[in-house]
Amino acid sequence: MPSSYIELDYQTEPSFFAALANYGYEHDLVLIQPDNPDGLTGLGIRSVRRAYLGGCPADIGYLHHLRFHPSIRGGSFLARGYREFRKVFAARPLKVTLTSILEDNTSARQLLEGNRADSGMPTYKPVSRFLTLLIPLNGPGRRWPLRRRASAGNPGFAVRMLTDADLPALMSLFELAGRHNDGMPAFAAEDFCGGSTSVLAGLQITDMVGVFAGTELLGAIGIWNQQAYRQIVLSHLCPSLSVVRKLWNLGRGLWGECPIPLTGGRVNNVLLDPWVIVPGREREIMPVLLKAATKEAKRRGALFAAFGVSANNPALAAVDTLFYISYWSIIYQVFWPETAVYGFTGRQLHVANLGSL
């Protein structure tokens, strides 16, 4: 992800194909190899995962990893690649296929959002904006990254890490939320066992923070470390941020290790994902979850935490309780005239979980 300030490389060591488990249980890859059959100059993937649509679990698609080498941009390879995807959509029809594009990526949006009825390109229809927070876990003050002192809150809430005994309650809560949120992930109990081939690879139920009222589970959020198979590496840092890093380290004894690594170093991060809350109580419960999750992530040694939420979800209001860096993406529905178009109307949206974007 290049910019004038910082450049990040997203890596999937030791195996790109093993890391695909996060995106779903079935994958169709479109590869472009124009000159060298042993080389690769373009790539695109549609993965199939389970999510709630209209209150019921369904297979949905996610289009991702669209990459083209600069040497073939501007030619016919984009259209040819989408012709292959059109065949994939026809061979494996789904109720909906989604994708995400950074809101600031205007060149990609202009290219893909235009209506090309005769070009063979699909329609990209915006579904929702999606906010991603990058939360530095070290900073000045004892309550960092909280913006303000927490209120006494509801004395009836209890916050703790989940155990195996909480799995039935957690699954019931996801089912309840799925009946009210289009796009809510539909997980199986075995997804929370830490298996390497699960859509939640590496996450166990003991990595989930829960908020309870008595014995009732009101909300839960994961502290998901994907660094064993998905890494973020700092490849470039502008001079001004290099100075910030040096100044930060002068006060390291006061506010801890700088979350910005040396060039070539990995960003020590966790995802605050997946999350689920009793429908209608998002504004009340999410601040409690974020406070507890950032505290636990910091205790585990992470320097950054990432959190994502759809723009129309009431949980969005909770982000103002934290210090963060943010960026917006747009979630699109992708379709051709002959493929299904899902009507996202009337339901609250939970159209993506950050760990699978």
Domain with residue 202: its CATH number is: 3.40.630.30
What is the average pLDDT across 58-83? Answer: 84
Mean pLDDT (the chain) is: 90
- The pLDDT score that the predictor gives to residue 118 is 64
- The pLDDT score that the predictor gives to residue 155 is 63
What is the average pLDDT across 286-293? Answer: 97
- The mean-pLDDT minimum among 24-28, 133-137, 255-259, 324-328 falls in 255-259
Q: Is residue 214 part of a domain?
A: yes
Query: E strand or H helix at 50, and its extent?
Result: strand 42-53
- The pLDDT score that the predictor gives to residue 189 is 96
Q: Is residue 125 part of a domain?
A: no
**3 state SS of 72:** helix
- The mean-pLDDT minimum among 8-22, 30-44, 227-241, 255-269 falls in 30-44
Domain that holds residue 271: 133-230+261-330
Query: E strand or H helix at 51, and its extent?
Result: strand 42-53
- The pLDDT score that the predictor gives to residue 349 is 87
Q: Is residue 105 part of a domain?
A: no
Q: Count of domains in the chain?
A: 1
On the question of pLDDT at 37 being above 80, the answer is no
Is the whole model's pTM more than 0.85, yes or no?
Answer: yes
Q: Is residue 69 part of a domain?
A: no
Reference 102, options 274, 331, 267; nearest CA is 331
Q: Is residue 56 part of a domain?
A: no
- Burial per residue of 54-76, b for 16 or more beta-carbon CB atoms within 10 angstroms, e otherwise: eeebebbbbbbbbebeeebeeee
| Residues paired with 45 in a beta bridge | 29, 64
CA dihedral sign of residues 243, 103, 96, 83: negative
d(CA 122, CA 113): 9
What is the average pLDDT across 9-30? Answer: 92
pLDDT-above-70 percentage for the chain: 92
pLDDT per position as a tens digit, 94-114: 999 999 999 998 988 988 887
- The pLDDT score that the predictor gives to residue 352 is 72
Tokens of 6: 């910082």
Q: How many CB atoms lie within 10 A of CB 147?
A: 12
DSSP secondary structure, 309-342, as one string? EETTSGGGGGGGGB--EEEEEEEEEEE-TTS---
d(CA 321, CA 145): 8
Max distance between CA atoms of the chain, in angstroms, equals 66
d(CA 308, CA 330): 12
Q: What order of strands is seen across the sheet that includes strand 208-213? A: 157-161, 208-213, 216-222, 275-277
What is the average pLDDT across 35-50? Answer: 83
Q: Is residue 20 part of a domain?
A: no
Q: Is residue 276 part of a domain?
A: yes
170 vs 66, more confident? 170
Q: Is residue 351 part of a domain?
A: no
- The pLDDT score that the predictor gives to residue 353 is 75
| Residues paired with 8 in a beta bridge | 234
